[in-house]
Structure 1
């Protein structure tokens, strides 16, 4: 999946927005103001995962701990094009749901997240 494809998937999720807090070469996808996926300048992608997924993905070498965000259980894929689109889309949807679950009830209601 390329940068445009990542954007299409992420922005299709409920309440998702895009901004560029680290400059125009980085895309940060957020829900309720909290980031769930970030595309880097060189095309790699980082996203939030569960504790179990972090262990599995990093131990088997499919992903690496995301720079600066690993302690919050984020992984980085230097080559997202090497992954199946459906698999990446599922990871992004899960990242979105993990972050959305941390929002207040009011924020979730305002974003139409239930």
Structure 2
């Protein structure tokens, strides 16, 4: 079982400023800031547990991928994304903190004008 349910994941992402939510890729819960994805919750196959993927710094990526249950995110690892699977050694508070940081990292890459428009400056 995941430390954070999909509903808790969605609530944590919704609480962050200027976020938008879409369901795509077979029902994945995809969260964006300024049109750029910062976190995804999805299941990988019929009956599979949800997994949470998010953007992180290069250092955090190296640290997290050493933990059991945390792997390079499929298709996104080259951009320093990790995927946290059921049974990972991260609790709900840790995952929430990483979601906040993922949002910050992605928002920081937006143009200054867009950050201002979104109320992020």
For the criterion TM > 0.5, the same-fold answer is yes
TM-score normalised to the size of structure 2? 0.87
Structure 2 residue corresponding to 1:85, chosen from 81, 92, 104: 92
Counterpart-to-counterpart distance in 2, 1:60 and 1:87: 13
Structure 2 residue corresponding to 1:67, chosen from 74, 97, 105: 74
Matched, 1:107 2:121: no
Contiguous gaps of at least 5 residues in structure 1: none
Structure 2 residue corresponding to 1:27, chosen from 29, 33, 37: 29
Q: Secondary structure at the match of 1:40?
A: strand
Q: 1:32, 1:100 within 8 Å by CA — same for their partners in 2?
A: yes
Matched, 1:11 2:10: no
- My pick for the range that moved more, 31-40 or 76-85, is 76-85
- Structure (1 or 2) with the greater helix fraction: 1
TM-score normalised to the size of structure 1? 0.92
Tell me which residue corresponds to 2:38.
Answer: 36
Q: Secondary structure at the match of 2:65?
A: helix
Matched, 1:53 2:60: yes
Counterpart-to-counterpart distance in 2, 1:81 and 1:64: 10
Cα deviation code 1:40-62 (max 9, x no counterpart): 13410100000000011112435
- Structure (1 or 2) with the greater strand fraction: 2
Contiguous gaps of at least 5 residues in structure 2: 44-48
User: Aligned pairs, how many?
Assistant: 113
